[in-house]
Amino acid sequence: MSDSRGDREPERTDDIAAEQHYVSMLYDKLDELRRYTTERLSETLAQTGGTPQARTERDISTKMHTEKLAQLSAVENGLCFGRLDLDSQERFHIGRLGLFDEDNEYEPLLLDWRAPAARPFYLATAASRDGVVRRRHLRTRQRTVTGYEDEVLDLDSAEQGSHLGLAGEATLLAALDARRTGQMTDIVATIQAEQDRIIRSKMNGVLVVQGGPGTGKTAVALHRAAYLLYTYRQQLTKRGVLVVGPNETFLRYIGQVLPSLGETGVLLSTVGELYPGVTATGTESAEAAEIKGRSSMVKVLNTAVRDRQQVPKDHIEVTFDREALRVDRRTCTQARTKARRSRKPHNEARKVFLREMFSALSLQVADRLGRDLLDQRDIDDIDSELRQDPGVCKVLDGLWPELTAPELLDELLSSPERLKTAARKQLDTDERAMLLREPGSAWAPSDAPLLDELAELLGEDDEQQRHEQAQQEREELAYAQGVLHIMEQDDEIIDPERLRVSDVLDAEVLAERHRASSDLTAAERAAGDRTWTFGHVIVDEAQELSAMAWRVLMRRCPSRSMTLVGDIAQTGALGGARSWQEILHPYVADRWRLEQLTINYRTPAEIMSVADGVLSAMGTDLETPTSVRTAGVRPWSRHVPGDELATRLPALVSGELEAVGDGRLAVLLPPERLEAVGTSLTEQVPGTVVGPQPEGLESPAVLLTVDQAKGLEFDSVLVVDPDGVIAGSERGLNDLYVALTRATQRLGVVHTGALPDVLGALEP
Ligand SMILES: Nc1ncnc2c1ncn2[C@@H]1O[C@H](COP(=O)(O)OP(=O)(O)OP(=O)(O)O)[C@@H](O)[C@H]1O
């Protein structure tokens, strides 16, 4: 717990004045860069016409300047937040981006927090100083320095910081005590050593970050994305970085963090959104989601596809050239076997099937005409006439139709017969019944991985199209090499500060950008391309994903350069993870590395001691993370009978809202209570929003189910009907644990029956 403050020096006004002087100089520099970039951008935009090459150059230049301007605007707040004083008498200021003095041999004026030289700011301790004598955390409001915190890294000094080994503790605690706004903020000024090690861990391979609630997993995941983009810029600009979150609300909550770090080239998505063209707005039961998430669904889908490769019971007759042709079982079976043996996806193997069938039918026609009188050319002619005959095509289409994933899945899930044939071995009658839906219903999140799997089995991507695309890419690369050369001749662009083209682009990146002349980043193009593979994939709340969802993500990341963050103790989804090994073994065996986060930055100790009882009852060997602070407020509980909730809860909510001032409150409750309680609260407590609506997290109070609150945090949390939460699912205790740990300051529990035993630590 944090009550010691390390060896800190009192702030002195002349020091603040000196820092202000320096920080003002940095802002002047930033303004100068903005002016310069704006001018370049205006000049580029003012140019019109010209050759296609000139237009491409302009597009590229516009994009570069626009990105740069966005980055320069993003770093306005907290531009500089730290200083390192070294044994060597050198001093470095640390901030959100690198600034250099071009009149003085590019001396660094401000070190980007991601630069290797900035690392001791996060890692140095008195015992392992790394040449650092003093670490200073600067506090600023807009462009004004309001204070600082010094840590002298000296083993002889009286105190060595808190037992948790926190760096910049006062600054950290001030950040943690701040009221929440409904938007996650970056932690760049106060990243702690155990977090820094994860953020800067090498990019390759699968890194799993296990950490209890509030340990900064999401924060670390996002800062890692920013770090990787800085360190492996060229590699990642081409393929992009994907950050996967559990739902839309969560993605909105974290959406500002990367832009505030000056990074925009990241695709934030749920697994449900990864199938282009499908918006998973449908609802489904937890049980149906669990079934659809099982890996055995691969077999079911495989069978469903094979079931669409038919042969007639005996034969089908079709008229061609006024004569009857026999499409008989034996020929069809042979053609089907050949097509299946090609091991191609259904739509591609269809070509093999059709080739065999048309060839057999051509011979049938030839025999009728007298095969001895015909040569190969005549037979080929018959073949092409057959291919154009609508009647013949219709019969063959019926035997081996061209399919799309959405139509096949819709037909499968809306037909008890089809489902029974496809899933006889994998699902029992009740399970199959749970999957059935009306034809044309909206897709639910767990349908997206099934669609993706089907798209693989069907082979929707056309080979020819890919071949043409590869050829076009080769041409674009050659062209881009030329453009790069021309741009480097341009004095303006070889401005030493930032715009040296080859520093930011190589020909391949340039070609990629040219390809995206519609101004799309890799991330944006990836969003519309099902077969896109990413340079790095980060998965938050990774414990929630089903086996089928993992298959989608692994297909998107064949290099297996991934960061997975989560907490096995918070798994709520029935098909979610029970262990990391279980998830990863099919893909990387035991070639993955584990890092753990152990300090809870969100939830105060008073609340964690309540949550601890729930974690123990789960029977897991995971430990509760240690809270970094106390809130000075004891969590409370109140008994309110179920039928009085609607009338009595508004007063409790109003009381809590008063207590948190301009902070945010969440009421977390079982889904079945949402409607009744929601109606009375929205009527009686102004500013209350029900459910995960876009404005929900910014409003004073929001009602959510535990599932919807996953990954979020609020100044105050009211957990209503804990028994209902526990009883709501097989993983009800995990859900209760999640609910209790969303609070940054205050927790109240409103129970409708006796207080559950697992909450024994609560006071009435
Ligand atoms: N080093 C830090 N400096 C300042 N704030 C921090 C730091 N680390 C974490 N936090 C804050 O702690 C809170 C919890 O972080 P985060 O949401 O990333 O935790 P989590 O491990 O993902 O939690 P959960 O699993 O419960 O969703 C956030 O408000 C985050 O900004």
Distance CA 469, CA 475 (A): 10
For atom 26 of ligand 1, the residue with the nearest CA is 213
For atom 27 of ligand 1, the residue with the nearest CA is 711
SS3 492: coil
300 Rama class: left (phi>0) / alpha (psi -120 to 50) / beta: alpha
Atom of ligand 1 nearest to the CA of 213: 26
**Burial letters 66-85, b for 16+ CB under 10 A, else e:** ebbbebbebbeebbbbbbbb
Does 212 carry a binding-site annotation?
yes
For the chain, the farthest-separated pair of C-alpha atoms sits apart, in whole angstroms, at 108
For atom 30 of ligand 1, the residue with the nearest CA is 216
Distance CA 502, CA 130 (A): 33
Beta bridge partners, 538, equal 243, 563
Q: What is the dihedral of CA 690, 693, 697, 700, to 10 degrees?
A: -40
Distance CA 500, CA 490 (A): 10
Residue 708 tokens, joined: 């919807």
Q: CA triplet 465, 471, 476: central angle to 5 degrees? A: 120
Going by their DSSP bridges, the two strands 266-269 and 241-244 should be labelled as parallel
Does 215 carry a binding-site annotation?
yes
**Best mutation site among 187, 256, 600 for ligand 1 pocket (most ligand atoms within 8 Å of CB):** 187
Q: Which of 739, 736, 709 is closest to 723 using CA atoms?
A: 736
**Best mutation site among 181, 215, 706 for ligand 1 pocket (most ligand atoms within 8 Å of CB):** 215
pLDDT for the residue numbered 490: 45
For atom 25 of ligand 1, the residue with the nearest CA is 213
Check: CB of residue 722 under 8 Å from CB of residue 188.
Answer: no
Check: CB of residue 736 under 8 Å from CB of residue 614.
Answer: yes
Does 744 carry a binding-site annotation?
no
Residue 723 tokens, joined: 């028994």
Q: How far from the centroid of its chain's Cα atoms is residue 600's Cα?
A: 22
Rounded to the nearest whole angstrom, what is the distance from the C-alpha of residue 221 to the centroid of ligand 1?
A: 10
Check: CB of residue 651 under 8 Å from CB of residue 764.
Answer: no
Q: Which of 263, 282, 257 is closest to 272 using CA atoms?
A: 282
Distance CA 420, CA 429 (A): 8
Amino acid at 374: L
Q: pLDDT, tens digit, for every residue of 446-485?
A: 999 999 999 999 996 554 555 556 666 666 666 666 555 5
For atom 14 of ligand 1, the residue with the nearest CA is 214
**Burial letters 520-551, b for 16+ CB under 10 A, else e:** bbbbbbbbeebebebbbbbbbbbbbbbbbbbb
Does 216 carry a binding-site annotation?
yes
Check: CB of residue 504 under 8 Å from CB of residue 233.
Answer: yes
Rounded to the nearest whole angstrom, what is the distance from the C-alpha of residue 544 to the centroid of ligand 1?
A: 18
Rounded to the nearest whole angstrom, what is the distance from the C-alpha of residue 363 to the centroid of ligand 1?
A: 72
Check: CB of residue 271 under 8 Å from CB of residue 248.
Answer: no
69 Rama class: left (phi>0) / alpha (psi -120 to 50) / beta: alpha
pLDDT for the residue numbered 693: 80
Does 214 carry a binding-site annotation?
yes
Amino acid at 347: N
665 Rama class: left (phi>0) / alpha (psi -120 to 50) / beta: beta
Phi, psi of 112 (to 5 degrees): -60, 135
Task: Order the strands of the 592-597 sheet from edge to edge.
Answer: 266-269, 241-244, 536-539, 562-566, 206-211, 592-597
Contacts of 550 (CB under 8 A, 6+ apart): 583, 587
Check: CB of residue 511 under 8 Å from CB of residue 473.
Answer: yes
For atom 5 of ligand 1, the residue with the nearest CA is 187
Rounded to the nearest whole angstrom, what is the distance from the C-alpha of residue 214 to the centroid of ligand 1?
A: 5
SS3 723: helix
**Best mutation site among 169, 209, 218, 607 for ligand 1 pocket (most ligand atoms within 8 Å of CB):** 218
Rounded to the nearest whole angstrom, what is the distance from the C-alpha of residue 541 to the centroid of ligand 1?
A: 13
pLDDT for the residue numbered 496: 44
- With residue 319 as reference, give the H or E element that holds it: strand 315-320
Residue spans per domain, the chain? 7-192, 201-283+521-597, 287-454, 605-759
For atom 8 of ligand 1, the residue with the nearest CA is 216
Beta bridge partners, 714, equal 743
Judge whether 201-283+521-597 and 605-759 match in fold: yes
Q: How many CA atoms lie within 13 A of 96 on its CB side?
A: 24
Distance CA 469, CA 117 (A): 42
ipTM over 0.90: yes
| E strands present in 61-163 | 80-86, 91-95, 99-101, 107-112, 132-141, 144-152
For atom 29 of ligand 1, the residue with the nearest CA is 602
Under DSSP, the state recorded for 749 is E
Rounded to the nearest whole angstrom, what is the distance from the C-alpha of residue 71 to the centroid of ligand 1?
A: 24
Distance CA 21, CA 38 (A): 26
pLDDT for the residue numbered 478: 64
Rounded to the nearest whole angstrom, what is the distance from the C-alpha of residue 141 to the centroid of ligand 1?
A: 22
| E strands present in 38-130 | 80-86, 91-95, 99-101, 107-112
| Residues in the ligand 1 pocket, defined by CB under 6 Å | 172, 175-176, 187, 190-192, 195, 211, 213-219, 567, 570, 601-602, 711, 713, 741
pLDDT for the residue numbered 238: 83
SS3 164: coil
DSSP string spanning 248-298? HHHHHHHTTHHHHTT---EEEE-GGGGSTT--------HHHHHHHHSTTHH
Q: pLDDT, tens digit, for every residue of 397-426?
A: 999 999 999 999 999 999 999 999 999 999
161 Rama class: left (phi>0) / alpha (psi -120 to 50) / beta: left
Q: How many CA atoms lie within 13 A of 692 on its CB side?
A: 18
pLDDT for the residue numbered 572: 80
> What is the end-to-end Cα distance of the chain in Å, rounded?
25
- With residue 537 as reference, give the H or E element that holds it: strand 536-539
Rounded to the nearest whole angstrom, what is the distance from the C-alpha of residue 254 to the centroid of ligand 1?
A: 11
Distance CA 248, CA 694 (A): 9
Distance CA 265, CA 99 (A): 21
Rounded to the nearest whole angstrom, what is the distance from the C-alpha of residue 719 to the centroid of ligand 1?
A: 21
Atom of ligand 1 nearest to the CA of 710: 27
Going by their DSSP bridges, the two strands 701-704 and 665-668 should be labelled as parallel
Residue range 605-759 forms a domain whose CATH class is alpha beta
Does 211 carry a binding-site annotation?
yes
Atom of ligand 1 nearest to the CA of 180: 29
> What superfamily would CATH give domain 201-283+521-597?
P-loop containing nucleotide triphosphate hydrolases (3.40.50.300)
| Other beta carbons less than 10 A from residue 569's beta carbon | 24
Check: CB of residue 24 under 8 Å from CB of residue 145.
Answer: no
**Best mutation site among 122, 179, 217 for ligand 1 pocket (most ligand atoms within 8 Å of CB):** 217
Phi, psi of 576 (to 5 degrees): -75, -175
Amino acid at 357: M
Phi, psi of 563 (to 5 degrees): -125, 120
**Best mutation site among 597, 708, 713 for ligand 1 pocket (most ligand atoms within 8 Å of CB):** 713
pLDDT for the residue numbered 508: 64
Check: CB of residue 713 under 8 Å from CB of residue 661.
Answer: no
Check: CB of residue 566 under 8 Å from CB of residue 738.
Answer: no
| Positions of the chain with pLDDT under 70 | 1-11, 155-164, 460-521, 764
Length of the chain: 764
Q: Which of 542, 578, 539, 574 is closest to 292 using CA atoms?
A: 574
Q: pLDDT, tens digit, for every residue of 683-742?
A: 999 889 998 887 778 899 999 999 999 999 999 999 999 999 999 988 899 999 999 999
Residue 202 tokens, joined: 């090498």
Atom of ligand 1 nearest to the CA of 215: 21
**Best mutation site among 81, 137, 176, 603 for ligand 1 pocket (most ligand atoms within 8 Å of CB):** 176
Distance CA 563, CA 199 (A): 10
Beta bridge partners, 147, equal 139
Rounded to the nearest whole angstrom, what is the distance from the C-alpha of residue 605 to the centroid of ligand 1?
A: 15
Q: Which of 682, 680, 729 is closest to 702 using CA atoms?
A: 682
Residue 741 tokens, joined: 């740990």
Q: How far from the centroid of its chain's Cα atoms is residue 269's Cα?
A: 5
Rounded to the nearest whole angstrom, what is the distance from the C-alpha of residue 184 to the centroid of ligand 1?
A: 9
Amino acid at 609: S
Check: CB of residue 310 under 8 Å from CB of residue 329.
Answer: no
Rounded to the nearest whole angstrom, what is the distance from the C-alpha of residue 215 to the centroid of ligand 1?
A: 5
Rounded to the nearest whole angstrom, what is the distance from the C-alpha of residue 560 to the centroid of ligand 1?
A: 26
